[in-house]
């Protein structure tokens, strides 16, 4: 088997130019994705991502309520018992009636609670659009 011939001298500058272009492209890419400024993500220690969640206290189950800040399973169960026995909450401040929920706990939970829409009174008669006498 004959030995391999080296590249012909006239093609060596072309290969050097291609390699130089690839190195420049890699340097440009590295700079645009953050380079040494620290914007690259270490996959073993990714930055924590804040997840905003909201729940409706009138429909949430025990597991959802227990995820709220300052609550545990016992207080979540008390909220469900209060909702079952006393009807739906009319405002978020009604949660203060639940044992274990104080003003500080409610303040910590409030960003994660959906506001409760006011309900129309059901005992008011529906009025037709009749003309009003003068």
CA 41 to chain centre: 20
pLDDT at residue 39 in the model: 63
Q: Please provide residue 55's backbone torsions phi and psi, each rounded to the nearest 5 degrees.
A: -135, 160
- % the chain with pLDDT above 70: 79
128 has a pLDDT exceeding 50: no
Residue 71 exposed, middle or buried by CB count within 10 Å (0-12, 13-18, 19+): buried
73 has a pLDDT exceeding 50: yes
Range scoring the smallest mean pLDDT among 38-42, 57-61, 108-112, 115-119: 38-42
- Sorted by where each starts, the structural domains of the chain and their CATH numbers stand as 62-112 (1.10.150.320)
132 has a pLDDT exceeding 90: no
92 has a pLDDT exceeding 80: yes
Q: Check: pTM over 0.85? Answer yes or no.
A: no
Query: Using one digit for the tens of pLDDT, what is the confidence trace for 16-63?
Result: 999 999 999 999 888 887 777 766 656 676 667 777 788 999 999 999
pLDDT at residue 4 in the model: 77
């Amino acid at each position: 088997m004959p030995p391999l011939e080296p590249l012909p001298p006239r093609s060596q500058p072309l290969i050097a130019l291609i390699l130089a272009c690839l190195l420049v492209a890699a340097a440009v890419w590295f700079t645009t994705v953050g380079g040494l400024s620290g914007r690259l993500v270490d996959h073993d220690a990714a930055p924590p991502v804040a997840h905003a969640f909201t729940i409706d206290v009138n429909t949430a189950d025990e597991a959802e309520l227990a995820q709220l800040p300052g609550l545990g399973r016992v207080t979540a169960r008390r909220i469900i018992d209060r909702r079952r026995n006393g009807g739906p909450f009319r405002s978020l401040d009604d949660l203060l009636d639940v044992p274990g929920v104080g003003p500080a706990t409610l303040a910590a939970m409030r960003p994660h609670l959906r506001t409760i829409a006011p309900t129309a009174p059901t005992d008011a008669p529906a009025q037709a659009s009749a003309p009003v006498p003068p």
